A = this chain, B = another copy of it.
C-alpha cells in the first residue's frame, strides 16, 4: 500500500509572481530515505465553457508564452480570493476575456493540473445561455480574440490537434460526462 511521505523541511527558492517555488525534503515511508522535491505554490485556476443559446462555444485565441504559440482555449484564469467562490472567478474571467455573461454557471468538475509539482486545483464550469453583453477588459499583457464554434465540432478539434490545452480538453470531457449523466 502506498503511504504518505513525511515532509521534513522546506526552503523557498523564489517568487515568480504567479508562483512561489519551494524545495521540500521528504522521507520515503518505503525506504526511509530523504529525497528533495520541487513544488510550485499557486492559486487555484478556473476555466469556463460558455455555451450560447444557439449551441456554440465561445472560445478564445491567445498568445501563450510557454509554448510561444497562439492557442484556442476556453476562457479562464486564476481564482481571486476576493471573488469568494471560484464560480465567481470563472464568470469574471468570461466577462473580462470575451464580454459574455451567462444566466447560470454550473460546476462540471475539478482536476489537479499536475499533482507532481503543483499544489493547486483547476475548477471547470459551464456557462449556460452565454450572451455577448459588453466589451472585453484586457490587461496589457493579454492579447485575446474570441470566436464562436459549434459544440458538435469540438471533439474533432481535439482529435486533430487544433485544441491542445490540457485543461481546456479536461473541461470538454467533464461537459460530455455531465451531459451523459443528465441525458442531454
Interface residues of A (CB under 8 A from B): 1-5, 7, 13-14, 16-19, 21, 23-24, 26, 28-31, 33, 35, 37-40, 61-71, 109-119, 121-122, 140-141, 143-145, 155, 158-159, 161, 164-167, 169-170, 172-174, 176-177, 180-181
Shortest distance in angstroms between A183's beta carbon and chain B's nearest beta carbon? Answer: 14
A5 pairs with B65, CB closer than 8 A: yes
Which chain B positions have C-beta within 8 A of A40?
Answer: 66
A62 to B112, CA, bound (A): 14
Residue of chain B at shortest CB distance from A67: B115
Query: Could you tell me if A38 and B17 are in contact, using CB atoms closer than 8 angstroms?
Result: yes
User: What's the minimum C-beta distance from A176 to chain B, rounded to whole angstroms?
Assistant: 8
A13 to chain B, nearest CB (A): 6
Question: Whole-angstrom distance from the CB of A165 to the nearest CB of chain B?
Answer: 6
Q: How far is the CB of A16 from chain B (nearest CB, A)?
A: 4
Q: 17 extra interchain contacts, Cβ-Cβ under 8 A, other than A2-B63, A111-B165? A: A1-B61, A2-B62, A2-B70, A4-B70, A13-B16, A16-B23, A18-B117, A30-B143, A64-B112, A64-B115, A67-B112, A67-B118, A67-B119, A110-B164, A114-B166, A115-B165, A158-B174
The 10 tightest CB contacts between A and B, nearest first, are: A64-B115, A173-B173, A37-B65, A111-B166, A67-B115, A16-B38, A35-B141, A2-B61, A112-B164, A66-B117
